[in-house]
Structure 1
Amino acid sequence: MTFRARPHQIAPGVHLLRAGRSAAASNVYLIASGSTWVLVDAAWAGSAETITAAAESLFGTGTKPAAILLTHLHPDHSGAAGALARTWGVPVYVHPAELPMAPGRYLPEYTMPLDRWVVIPLMRLLPRRTRARIEQAGSLTDVVRPLGPGGVVPALPDWQWVHTPGHTPGHVAYLRRSDGVLIAGDAAVTVDLNSVLGTLTGRRRLAGPPRYTTWDQPAAVRSVAALAALEPRVLAPGHGLPLATAAAEALHHLARKLDRPRAGRLRRGLRTLRVAVAAPRYGGAGRYRPPPLVYARLQWLGHALTRLRLSPRYVVTLEVPGRRSGVVRRTNLVLLDHDGEQYLLSLAGQSQWARNVGAAGGRAMLARGRRRRAVTLVEVPVADRAGLLRAYLLRRGRQPGNRRIAREEDMYFGLAGAPTLEELAAVAPRYPVFRVTDSGQPAHQTRAPR
Structure 2
Amino acid sequence: MQVAEGVQGVTLGRGFPASNVYFVRSGDSWALIDAGWAGDAGAIRRTAESLFGPGARPAAILLTHIHPDHSAAAGELARTWEVAVHVHPDELPMGSGRYLPEFDMPLDHWVVMPIMRLLPAGTRSRIEAAGDITDVIRGLPPGGAVPGLPDWEWIAAPGHTPGSVAYLRRRDGVLVSGDAILTVDPNSVSGILSARQKPAGPPWYSTWNRRAARESIAALAALTPRVLAPGHGYPVAVGTAEVLQALADDGRSRRLRMVDRLLVRVGDPRADRYRPPPRLYARLQWLGHALTGLGLSPRYVVTLEVPGRRSGVLRRTDLVRAEHGGQDYLVSLTGESEWVRNVRAARGRVVLARRGRRQVVTLVEVPTPDRAPVIRSYALRAGRRLGSSAVSREARAFFGVGPDLAVEEIATVADRFPTFRVVPDPAHDP
Which TM-score band (shorter chain)? Answer: 0.5 to 0.7
Look up the match of 1:248.
241
Look up the match of 1:123.
116
Give the alignment's TM-score, normalised by structure 2.
0.59
Look up the match of 1:148.
141
Asked if the contact 1:24–1:240 (Cα under 8 Å) also holds between the matched residues in 2, the reply is no
In structure 2, distance between residues paired with 1:139 and 1:248: 37
Helix, strand or coil for the counterpart of 1:169?
A: coil
Helix, strand or coil for the counterpart of 1:76?
A: helix
* Corresponding residue to 2:169 among 176, 198, 203: 176
Helix, strand or coil for the counterpart of 1:173?
A: strand
* Corresponding residue to 2:182 among 177, 186, 189: 189
Per-residue deviation, residues 99-144 of structure 1 (Å, max 9, x unmatched):
0110001111101110011000000001111111100000110000
Q: For residue 10 of structure 1, report the CA deviation from its aligned partner.
A: 1.1
Residue 27 of structure 2 is aligned to residue 34 of structure 1: yes
Look up the match of 2:95.
102
Give runs of aligned pairs for residues 407-422 of structure 1, distance below 5 A.
none
* Corresponding residue to 1:74 among 67, 75, 85: 67
Asked if the contact 1:24–1:193 (Cα under 8 Å) also holds between the matched residues in 2, the reply is no
In structure 2, distance between residues paired with 1:10 and 1:156: 16
The AA in structure 1 aligned to 2:192 is T
Residue 225 of structure 2 is aligned to residue 232 of structure 1: yes
Q: For residue 261 of structure 1, report the CA deviation from its aligned partner.
A: 3.7
The AA in structure 2 aligned to 1:67 is A
Q: For residue 263 of structure 1, report the CA deviation from its aligned partner.
A: 11
Residue 84 of structure 2 is aligned to residue 91 of structure 1: yes
Per-residue deviation, residues 235-275 of structure 1 (Å, max 9, x unmatched):
0000000000111111111011112346989xxxxxxxxxx
Residue 252 of structure 2 is aligned to residue 259 of structure 1: yes
In structure 1, distance between residues paired with 2:140 and 2:172: 23
Q: Which stretch has the larger CA shift, 251-260 or 51-60?
A: 251-260
Asked if the contact 1:168–1:214 (Cα under 8 Å) also holds between the matched residues in 2, the reply is yes
In structure 2, distance between residues paired with 1:199 and 1:62: 37
In structure 2, distance between residues paired with 1:258 and 1:187: 14
Look up the match of 1:132.
125
Per-residue deviation, residues 261-302 of structure 1 (Å, max 9, x unmatched):
46989xxxxxxxxxxxxxxxxxxxxxxxxxxxxxxxxxxxxx
The AA in structure 1 aligned to 2:36 is A
Residue 58 of structure 2 is aligned to residue 54 of structure 1: no
Asked if the contact 1:191–1:207 (Cα under 8 Å) also holds between the matched residues in 2, the reply is yes
In structure 2, distance between residues paired with 1:109 and 1:240: 29
Helix, strand or coil for the counterpart of 1:15?
A: strand
Unaligned runs of 5+ in 1: 1-7, 266-450
The AA in structure 2 aligned to 1:240 is G
Superposition RMSD in Å:
1.3
Look up the match of 2:335.
none
Give the alignment's TM-score, normalised by structure 1.
0.56
In structure 2, distance between residues paired with 1:261 and 1:215: 21
Q: How many residues align?
A: 258
Asked if the contact 1:68–1:93 (Cα under 8 Å) also holds between the matched residues in 2, the reply is yes
Residue 55 of structure 2 is aligned to residue 45 of structure 1: no
Per-residue deviation, residues 194-220 of structure 1 (Å, max 9, x unmatched):
100000010110000010110000000
Helix, strand or coil for the counterpart of 1:55?
A: helix
Q: For residue 24 of structure 1, report the CA deviation from its aligned partner.
A: 3.2
The AA in structure 2 aligned to 1:21 is R
Look up the match of 2:209.
216
Asked if the contact 1:180–1:233 (Cα under 8 Å) also holds between the matched residues in 2, the reply is yes
Look up the match of 2:151.
158
Per-residue deviation, residues 26-76 of structure 1 (Å, max 9, x unmatched):
000000111111000000000000001110000001111010000000000
Give runs of aligned pairs for residues 309-320 of structure 1, distance below 5 A.
none
In structure 2, distance between residues paired with 1:134 and 1:14: 33
Unaligned runs of 5+ in 2: 259-430
